[in-house]
Chain A
Amino acid sequence: MTPAASSGGGSKQQDPIVADETAVVNGNGDQGKAPAATPKDGPKNNQKGKKTSEGAPKGDAGPNSGKPSGKELKERAKAEKQAKRAKEREGKQGQPVADFKGGNIAPEPESKIGKSPGKDQPPSKSHQRRRSSAGAHAQKPLPLRPAAAAASVPKVQETLEEDNRVPLLEHLYGHPRRTTIAGASKDVHPSVLALGLQIGAYEICGSNARCVAMLLVFQQVISSYTTPVATSLPRHLTTHLSSQIDYLISYRPLSVSQGNAIRWLKVAISAVDISTPEEQAKSDLCIGIDNFIREKISVADQVIAASGAERIKDGDVIMTYAKSSIVEKTLAEAFYQGKRFKVVVIDSHPLYEGRNLARALVDLGVEVQYSLINGLAHVVGPVTKTFLGAHAMMSNGRLYSRLGTAMVAMMAKDVNSPVMVCCESVKVTDRVALDSFVHNEIAPEDELLPPRMPENGQNVDSDSKSLSLYNWRKTPNLQLLNLMYDLTPAEMIDVVITEAGSMPPNAIAMVQSLTANT
């Protein structure tokens, strides 16, 4: 729904700490295009990065071409393979790593496992180098920025016991989210590594922002891609991208918009003529991505904002929930047109995205009222219109959006205020859904708990019994549930505003077929 850093440019606001992270992770600083890669971090890792990117393809794994003794070589390869597996397994479980908050360099379990016999030798091979450098980076504690602290990245993400899973949603518990780059496959492009971290920490949050950021990063991936021998770009690049995508998924499941963009990109790649020179093909694809972003998101947003702003009149009281980049643009557009209205921002625990929206609107000069979702009944009275953002529109007309949206829509309908959904066509999916259970995303449960504040440390200790929610994992019969999305019934939505026009929610499937053709 809601870009914390809305599109590529947004990363500028990110504070130094993140830039630092990026510098650490991002090898190819020279491209500097992705939101992840701020230009300045280039030099630091430049050499390393260059080498790494060359060694990217997986195929030529035979690590030590120049080394003697076949047997030794074999052994080493085997050990390395094992280590890699162990690492991957660990990475999947999200088993980490540094105590984020503590700031002290936690011993990296990784590096020990990852240390194959071959490691002691001079790191002449790009393969090894890369590995070791990745390990070193992972060791660096990732400082937590305040915003992320709100989301309270869990210190140690343990796998959930059966007993601590909500039985109803058993199917939604996949692997715990990855929280570090440790154990990432060597194929993963450094800027993708960085993007994963940002997405995982909600630095980049909201389906538009995630989609744009991903596409920009993929541009870098494509630029630094070289087709391995004995294969062709249209065939191999998609698999190469797939491993990047898998990595991103290990942080958070793909948003619908991301999924749609990826589908488009893969089609575009496979459509590349084999005879096209590689450089040409790559730059064509990059241009294609730029166009996609412009067409599907930037321009679409402008159209939607203009159309939405038309529906705002002077004196309106407009309610919105959490933060949607497109709703923000719509409100800003209406404000620029000289309309004077009041905005009621409803927000909720634990992400508090609405605060960013409230902040942005206040800075614009809009009159803003802010309340949490439990105060909904109090503020809903004077509301005349409700604008909601979308994570996705299901083709049966239901709105899949941030948890709590349905409640806001319901209360808005209760006071007879029209409910309007702003949704780019890239968010329209052909999936259908009837409830919020079958498809959903479960975020780390610890986000629901307040971060333990250092100054309250002794308080927490003395009160540890009363604050037993902290050790909820060890409490039998207790489950925490941190869903990300809910489904708003179509009958609560009056109109869906897309760049292809405004329509009742049940007609949204039309947009789907419309955009599928283009």
Chain B
Amino acid sequence: MAPRTGGGTPSALDLLKSHHRNKTLPVDASIEELITLLRRRQIQGSRECAEATAFLLQRVIGSLDNHDVSSLLESVQALGRRLEAASPKELAIGNVVRRVLGLIREEVEEDRENGSNGATEEPSSSSPVTVRPESYASSSLDPTTGQQASASTTSETTQPPPAGRMQTSLGNAGSGSMFSLLSQSTSTSKSANTLAFQSPSLHVTTPTEPISNNVNTRDLRAEVLEGLEELLDEIRQADDQIAGYALEHIHSREIILINSTSRTVQKFLLKAAAKRKYTVVQAANQSDGQICSYQTPSARPPSKMTAQGPFISSLTAAGISVIVVPDSAVFALMARINKVVIDASFILADGSFVAPAGSLAIAKAAKLHKNPIVALGGVYKISPIYPFTARAFLETGDTNEVTILGRQDLMKECAVQNPLSDYLSVGLVDLYISNLGGLVPASIYQVVSDHYRMEDLDLGGMKPEA
């Protein structure tokens, strides 16, 4: 689950990039391509998935024309749904889609403000924006929100304008109109509010439609694309920015335990190595292909195979002494470890996170020895989703990787499990280091509310009725 590309092997992502850059494939084909790659898990890891999604969105939004805002939102949502379905346990995809949706809404709001300042008063000033409860429950989020609705704060949304005026203002609002997306009863917005996202945008009412003329949309599109470019930069630079905080967390002669070979961890460690001498203990687990790779190479993504060598040699070359141990040795060594650095696959809204398999046991051992646990993860990994059903996010791998070496017969007769990720609840991590700096788990919700909009929590699992 964690990104394992430590080296510079050409990956599926590189392939995608070149396709996007050269526009070799038509838009539909590139959507299909990404979906296929995601389904086959040829693109793995949050960063890779986030980047690929952002690329695709760039491509899709860039190619849309003669569409109004509602259909823009709608098509992004639809794409998001498909991508999420292709790799439902990779939340970074949904994160990027939601960020983009937020971008669009923001631009729309700005336009509206400009419009209302300059032009005549907009008749349909606002309608509450929210998600419908039923689709909400059906999403990977959770049904329990419905019950929490009673405890919700009162909605600050204004009353929707008369329907008649709405219709006229929407003009050609068809099946994919903003109307159906946005016009919901205040009761549902209550339920949405309960998730404690105190985002200002949450309560701000969004316009039903800024008179949908195409010129406006095109401007909008350009701005959205610009925002997307920024988002891509953020994703790309996240590792470096996280690494920038390394010196604040690693002291000389420290012994740090890691359990992944991700690029984020690599950069983080290398940055500190430039100034300080310290030791890294790498708990390598076998099924991860970290130490062993018995499997036929073709059966697995190349990144997995080759992760270990370059990763370790880059650390040792930088002067870090690296001790490679099997992951069963973690408890034995924990007494001498000073800090545990884990690469978060994604971080959930309540401050819990998902990390490569084995992390939970490591974290518990660290807690037992009172060692601090630091999780690394860019903001793009922070998901607005609440882990009501944490197990739903955990991915399981090929059991062949566990029963290698001529014991395949075992698989037929006993249940073999090869989980790829662990869910670590809130209390286990002491600090997140994101590209925004150190974050305590309790403040993750703040980041969520700054980056996502309530109305995008659900990508709209069902077709809006006409």
Closest-CB distance, A416 to chain B (whole angstroms): 14
B15 in the interface (beta carbon within 8 A): no
Scan residues 461-484 of chain A and give those whose CB is less than 8 A from a CB of chain B.
463, 465-469, 472, 475-483
Q: Mark B72-102, 1 if CB is under 8 A from A, else 0.
A: 0000000000000000000000000000000
For chain A, the count of residues having a C-beta within 8 Å of the partner chain is 63
State whether A466 and B365 are in contact (beta carbons under 8 Å apart), knowing that A374-B288, A475-B316, A477-B322 are contacts in the complex. Answer: no
Select which of A150, A372, A468, A486 is within 8 A of B313 by beta carbon: A468
What chain B residues lie within 8 Å of A477 (beta carbons)?
Answer: 315-316, 319-322
B400, CB-defined interface residue at 8 Å: no
> How distant is A154 from chain B, measured CB to nearest CB, in Å?
15
Contact A374 B291 (CB under 8 A): no
**Binary contact track A446-470/B, C-beta < 8 Å → 1, others 0:** 0011100100100100010111110
**Which A residue sits closest to B391, measured CB to CB?**
A378
In the bound assembly, the distance between CA atoms of A466 and B418 in angstroms comes to 25
Which residues of the other chain, A, contact B325 by a CB distance below 8 angstroms? 480-483
Inter-chain contact B365/A407, CB cutoff 8 Å: yes
What mask results when residues 44 to 64 of chain A are scored 1 for a CB within 8 Å of chain B, else 0?
000000000000000000000
User: How far apart are B332's CB and chain A's nearest CB, in angstroms?
Assistant: 4
Are B309 and A369 in touch, CB under 8 angstroms? no
Stretch at the interface among A88-96, A354-362, A499-507: A354-362
If A376-B361, A450-B294 touch, whether A350 touches B413 (CB-CB below 8 Å) is no
Does B360 count as interface, using CB distance less than 8 angstroms? Answer: yes
Contact for B414 among A368, A372, A377, A465, CB less than 8 A:
A368
Query: Judging by beta carbons under 8 Å apart, are B414 and A375 in contact?
Result: no
Q: Are B286 and A349 in contact (CB under 8 A)?
A: yes
| A373 interfacial by beta-carbon distance below 8 Å | yes
Q: Is there an interface contact between B328 and A403, defined as CB atoms closer than 8 Å?
A: yes
- Chain A residues lying within 8 Å of B414, measured Cβ to Cβ, are 345, 358, 361-362, 367-370
Provide the residues of chain A in CB contact with B306, threshold 8 Å. Answer: 463, 466-467
Question: Bound complex: CA of A437 vs CA of B329, how far in Å?
Answer: 11
Decide if A379 is an interface residue (CB 8 Å cutoff): yes
Q: Mark B254-282, 1 if CB is under 8 A from A, else 0.
A: 00000000000000000000000000000
List, in ascending order, chain A residues with CB within 8 A of B410's CB.
355, 358-359, 362, 370
Closest chain B residue to A476, Cβ basis? B316
Q: How far is A277 from B332 in the complex, measured between Cα atoms in Å? A: 51
Query: Does B342 touch A at the CB level, under 8 Å?
Result: no
Report chain A residues within 8 Å CB of B413.
362, 368
Complex Cα gap A359–B361 (Å): 26
Task: Determine if B291 and A407 form an interchain contact, defined as CB atoms under 8 angstroms apart.
Answer: no
Q: Is the CB of A410 within 8 A of B329?
A: no
Stretch of B155-163, B186-194, B380-388, B401-409 contacting A (4+ beta carbons < 8 Å): B401-409
Say yes or no: is B436 at the interface (Cβ < 8 Å to chain A).
no
Choose one: A348, A440, A453; the contact of B326 (CB below 8 Å): A348
Contact, CB under 8 Å: A348 / B328 = yes
User: Of all chain A residues, which has the CB nearest B292?
Assistant: A450
A414: CB under 8 A from chain B?
yes
A136-179 near B? 1/0 per residue, CB < 8 Å: 00000000001000100000000000000010100000000000
From 388 to 425 in chain B, residues with beta carbon under 8 angstroms from any chain A beta carbon are: 394, 402-403, 405-407, 410, 413-419, 422-423
B322: chain A residues within 8 A (beta carbon): 477-479
- Knowing A349-B292, A450-B292, A466-B309, the reply to whether A378 touches B417 (Cβ < 8 A) is yes
Closest residue on chain A to residue B283 by CB atoms: A374
Q: Which residues of A320-363 have CB atoms within 8 Å of chain B's CB atoms?
A: 345, 348-350, 352, 355, 358-359, 361-362
Whether a CB of chain B sits under 8 angstroms from the CB of A404 is yes
Which chain A residue lies CB-closest to B407?
A355
How far apart sit A148 and B413, CA to CA, in the bound complex (Å)?
24
Q: Which residues of A contact B316 (CB under 8 A)?
A: 475-478
Interface flag for A406 (CB, 8 Å)? yes
Partner of B309, one of A411, A435, A465, A482: A465
CB of A371 within 8 A of CB of B417, answer yes
Question: Contacts of A435 on B, CB cut-off 8 Å?
Answer: 335
Which A residues lie within 8 Å of B418 (CB)? 371-372, 375
Which residues in window 93-148 of A have CB below 8 A to B? 146
Give the residues in chain B near A349, CB-CB below 8 Å.
285-286, 291-292, 326-328
CB of B357 to closest CB in A, whole Å: 4
- B310 proximal to A (CB < 8 A): yes
Q: Assess the A410–B364 pair: CB atoms within 8 A.
A: yes
Residues of A within 8 A of B285 (CB): 349, 372-374
A selection of 28 A-B contacts at a CB cut-off of 8 Å is A150-B405, A345-B414, A350-B286, A352-B407, A355-B407, A371-B402, A371-B418, A372-B402, A374-B287, A374-B358, A375-B287, A375-B358, A375-B402, A376-B358, A376-B361, A377-B360, A403-B328, A403-B329, A407-B328, A410-B361, A437-B335, A437-B336, A468-B312, A469-B291, A472-B324, A477-B316, A478-B324, A486-B329
| A-B contacts besides A379-B417, A463-B306, A469-B312, 6 pairs, CB < 8 Å | A372-B285, A378-B394, A406-B331, A468-B313, A479-B321, A483-B329
Instruction: Across the A-B interface, give the 7 residue pairs with the lowest CB-CB distance, nearest first.
Output: A404-B328, A374-B358, A368-B414, A486-B332, A436-B332, A349-B286, A377-B360
| B residues at A contact (CB < 8 Å) | 7, 9, 284-288, 291-294, 297, 305-306, 308-310, 312-313, 315-316, 319-333, 335-336, 356-358, 360-361, 364-365, 368, 394, 402-403, 405-407, 410, 413-419, 422-423
